[in-house]
Amino acid sequence: MTNEARAFGYLTQPEIRFLDAAVARLIPADELGPGAKEAGVTYFIDQQLASVWGSHGRNYRMGPWPAGTPQQGFQSRLTPREIYRAAIREANLHCLRQYGKAFEFLAPELQDEVLAGLENGGVELASLSSKLFFGLLLRNTMEGYFADPIYGGNRDKAGWRLIGFPGVPVANYNDLIDEHNVPYRVEPVSILDIEQGRVALDSQGLPRHVRLKGVGENGR
């Protein structure tokens, strides 16, 4: 991705730095390839927060708002936008009090400790349940790493390359079903690739895949 205009529609600069650091721990860059930060997951989350979903526009939002049982599901009066805003500020306050630094400046091991504390409720936040925030952050990180790159995450199809997901299918999978135990490894094709004219389409609007050689080795 070069010269792509990327307006952050909702997040502030400190929030962006917090999320860059956090998603880099949830899915780290390593010898297997880019992590969530490199894949643009922070930008993806920003776009999701700026969307109808970010204000729970299709969720039922009338009260009263008792907490309910875990089986009754999401009952917070906060929207995802409000959850991220309050939780990031308060998690950073926790880090400042505990370690004298904001989250983004902590060593990776300490960052993992804070994230684990948010996940299991060990780190308490003033305005909301830390588990509520962590659950949303992990869910959005996975979405951003594996959704079509057209949403701004999964940059260069990093998530799909990691697992060997081919993206938009081709028309001849029916012919390949009988090739048992033969890994089908291709250069993944995204909707973004097609939009940007990088891939030729057949008459049904489906791409052709280019098969990769030499993958399926080193344990993947």
Partner 1 sequence: MTASRLKPVDAVIVGTGIVGSILAKELADAGLKVVALERGRPVDPQHDFAAPYTYDELKYDRHSDIFQDLSRETITFRNNVGETALPMREMGSFKPGEAVGGTALHWGTHSRRLLPWDFETRSRTVERYGKRHVPEDCTSQDWGVTFEELEPYYDQFEHLYGVGGKAGNLNGVIQPGGNPFEGPRSREFPNPPSPMTYAGTMFATACRELGYHPHVNPVAAQTQAYLNPYKLMLGQCLRGGFCSSHACSMGAKANPLTTVMPALAKQANFELRPLSNVIKVNLDSDRSRATGVTYLDARGREFEQPAELVILAAYTFNNVRLMLLSGIGEPYDPVANRGVVGRNYSYQSAGRVNCFFEEKSFNPFMGGGARGTAIDEYNGDNFDHAGLDFFGGAYIAVASSGAMPIRSIHVPPGTPKWGAEWKRAAARYYQRNFTVRLHGACQSYRQNYLDLDPTYRDANGLPLLRMTFDWGDNERVASAWIVKKAEEIARAMNPSRMSAQPTAGHYDIVPYQSTHNMGGAVMGADPATSAVNKYLQSWDVSNVFVIGGSAFPQNSANPPTATIGTLACWAADAIKDQYLKRPGALV
**Residue in 93, 150, 156, 187 binding partner 1, rule: CB under 8 A:** 150
Tokens standing for residue 142: 């996975």
The stretch among 10-18, 86-94, 96-104, 202-210 that binds partner 1 (CB under 8 A) is 202-210
Q: Which is nearer to partner 1, 3 or 69 (CB)?
A: 69
176: Cβ contacts below 8 Å, ≥ 6 apart? 184
The helix/strand/coil state of 45 is helix
> Length of the chain, please?
220
Q: From 3-11, 21-29, 87-95, 122-130, give the range in contact with partner 1 by CB under 8 A.
A: 21-29
Query: Binding of partner 1 at residue 183 (CB under 8 A)?
Result: yes
- The answer to whether 220 contacts partner 1 (rule: CB under 8 A) is yes
Q: Which two tokens stand for residue 25?
A: 């721990």
Closest approach, Cβ 62 to partner 1, in A, equals 7
CB of 17 to partner 1, least distance (A): 19
Binding to partner 1 (CB under 8 A): which residues in 122-141?
138, 141
**Residue 45 φ then ψ, to 5°:** -60, -40
When asked if residue 7 is in the footprint of partner 1 (CB under 8 A), the reply is no
d(CA 88, CA 23): 13
Is residue 203 a contact point for partner 1 (CB under 8 A)?
Answer: no
Q: Does 25 bind partner 1 (CB under 8 A)?
A: yes
Paired with 189 in beta bridges are 167
Interface region with partner 1, contact rule CB under 8 A, candidates 11-19, 22-30, 82-90, 93-101: 22-30
53 binds partner 1 (CB under 8 A): yes
Terminal C-alpha separation, the chain: 26
Q: Is 146 in the site for partner 1 (CB under 8 A)?
A: yes
CB contact at 8 A, 23 and 142: no
Q: Rule CB under 8 A: is residue 207 a binding residue for partner 1?
A: yes
- Three-class DSSP category at 17: helix
169: contact with partner 1 by CB under 8 A: yes
Residue 58 makes contact with partner 1 by CB under 8 A: yes
Centroid of chain to Cα 196: 22
Binding residues with partner 1: total (CB under 8 A)? 72
Identify which range of 20-28, 86-94, 98-106, 123-131 contacts partner 1 by CB under 8 A. Answer: 20-28
* Spatial separation of the C-alpha atoms in residues 14 and 92, rounded to whole Å: 10
CA 144, 146, 150, 156 dihedral sign is: positive
